[in-house]
C-alpha cells in the first residue's frame, strides 16, 4: 500500500535543509556555494511524497525511485541500513574528465548490508555501506554492472548495462529494501550543469533488469521529474 508524506525544502544562500513531516529525518549540512541547483532523490519504498520549496510545491506526487534533474547537490530521502527513513546530502562532481573517460559514482541508500559493485564481473567498489558513495573514472561506453553482497558472489541487483557517455558524471543509487526485495538501480547523468536519467541497456539476460533467480530483485532506470 502506498502512503503519502510531505517533504519541506528550505533554501537560502549557502544552505539547504529538508525536513519531512513524518519523523526520523536528519537535516542536510550547509553547502559551500552561494547559489546552485539541487536534485532530490526519493528512495523510500511505498511512500509517495510532495516536495515543498519555501512554501511552493515544485514536485507533487513524487514516486519512489525517482530522481529530479538538477546539479551541484543531491539530497536523498532514503532508508538507513536498518530501514529507518533519513536524509543524506551528496555533492555532485561535474568537473571535466579526460578524453574517452566517464565518471561513475555509486551511492548506497538502501536498507541492505554492505555491497560490492562490479563492472564486467570485476570489482569496481568494495565494502560500500549505507549511506556512503564511491567514485571512479572509467572508459566511456556501456558497462555491464551488478551489485553483490560484500565479499560474496551473491548478486542482489542486476546485471544492467549502464550507458556512460564520454565526459559525463553518472550517479547510480542502490536503493530500496533487501528484506522487502525492492532493491533497484536508478541513475542520473550530468553533462555540464544539466542532468538526465542514466540510460540502462539490456544486460546479459537480454532485459534491462535481470531478476535474481532466488529473490527476483530488479535493477531499473529512474523516471525524471524536473525541478528548478
* 95 within some domain: yes
The answer for 83, left when phi > 0, alpha when psi is -120 to 50, beta otherwise, is: left
* pLDDT tens for each residue of 26-44: 334 444 444 556 677 777 7
Domain residues for the domain of 89 are: 3-222
Residue 21 has pLDDT above 60, yes or no: no
Q: Which residues contact 153 (CB under 8 A, 6 or more apart)?
A: none
Say if 80 falls within a structural domain. yes
- Calpha distance 135→113 (Å, rounded): 19
Is residue 228 assigned to a domain?
A: no
Give the Cα separation of 146 and 19 in Å (integer). Answer: 32
Give me the sheet containing 155-164, strands edge to edge: 122-128, 115-119, 141-149, 155-164, 200-201
| Report field, pTM of the whole predicted structure over 0.85 | no
For residue 131, cis peptide bond before it (omega within 30 degrees of 0): yes
What tens digit of pLDDT does each residue of 180-196 get? 988 988 888 888 545 56
pLDDT at residue 125 in the model? 98
Average pLDDT value over all residues in the chain: 70
Q: What percent of the chain lies above the pLDDT cut of 90?
A: 39
For residue 227, being part of any structural domain is answered with no
How far apart (Å, rounded) are the C-alpha atoms in residues 226 and 70?
A: 8
* Percent of the chain whose predicted confidence (pLDDT) is above 70: 54
For 137-161, write each residue's pLDDT tens digit. 999 999 999 999 999 999 999 898 9
Residue 35 counted as domain residue: yes
User: What was the pLDDT predicted at 188?
Assistant: 86
Residue 39 located in a structural domain = yes
Please state whether the peptide bond connecting residue 159 to the residue before it is cis, i.e. omega within 30 degrees of 0.
yes
Task: Using pLDDT thresholds of 50, 70 and 90, give the confidence band for residue 109.
Answer: very high
CA dist 142 and 203 (Å) reads: 10
Q: Do the domain assignments include residue 131?
A: yes
Structural domain total, the chain: 1
Amino acid at each position: 500500500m502506498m502512503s503519502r508524506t510531505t517533504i519541506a525544502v528550505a533554501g537560502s544562500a549557502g544552505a539547504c535543509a529538508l525536513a519531512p513531516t513524518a519523523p526520523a529525518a536528519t537535516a542536510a549540512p550547509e553547502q559551500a556555494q552561494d547559489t546552485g541547483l539541487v536534485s532530490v532523490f526519493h528512495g523510500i519504498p511505498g511512500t509517495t511524497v510532495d516536495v515543498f520549496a519555501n512554501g511552493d510545491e515544485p514536485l507533487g506526487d513524487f514516486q519512489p525511485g525517482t530522481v529530479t534533474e538538477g546539479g551541484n547537490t543531491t539530497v536523498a530521502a532514503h532508508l538507513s541500513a536498518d530501514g529507518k527513513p533519513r536524509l543524506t546530502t551528496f555533492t555532485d562532481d561535474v568537473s571535466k574528465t579526460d578524453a574517452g573517460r566517464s565518471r561513475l559514482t555509486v551511492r548506497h541508500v538502501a536498507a541492505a548490508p554492505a555491497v560490492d559493485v562490479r563492472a564486467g564481473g570485476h570489482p569496481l567498489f568494495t565494502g560500500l555501506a549505507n549511506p556512503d558513495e564511491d567514485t571512479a573514472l572509467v572508459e566511456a561506453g556501456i558497462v555491464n554492472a551488478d551489485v553483490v553482497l560484500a565479499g560474496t558472489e551473491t548478486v542482489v541487483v542486476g546485471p544492467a548495462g549502464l550507458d556512460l557517455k564520454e565526459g559525463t558524471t553518472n550517479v547510480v543509487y542502490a536503493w530500496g529494501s533487501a528484506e522487502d526485495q525492492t532493491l533497484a538501480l536508478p541513475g542520473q547523468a550530468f553533462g555540464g550543469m544539466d542532468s538526465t536519467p542514466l540510460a540502462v541497456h539490456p544486460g546479459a539476460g537480454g532485459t534491462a533488469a535481470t531478476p535474481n533467480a532466488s529473490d527476483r530483485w530488479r535493477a531499473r532506470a529512474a523516471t525524471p521529474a524536473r525541478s528548478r
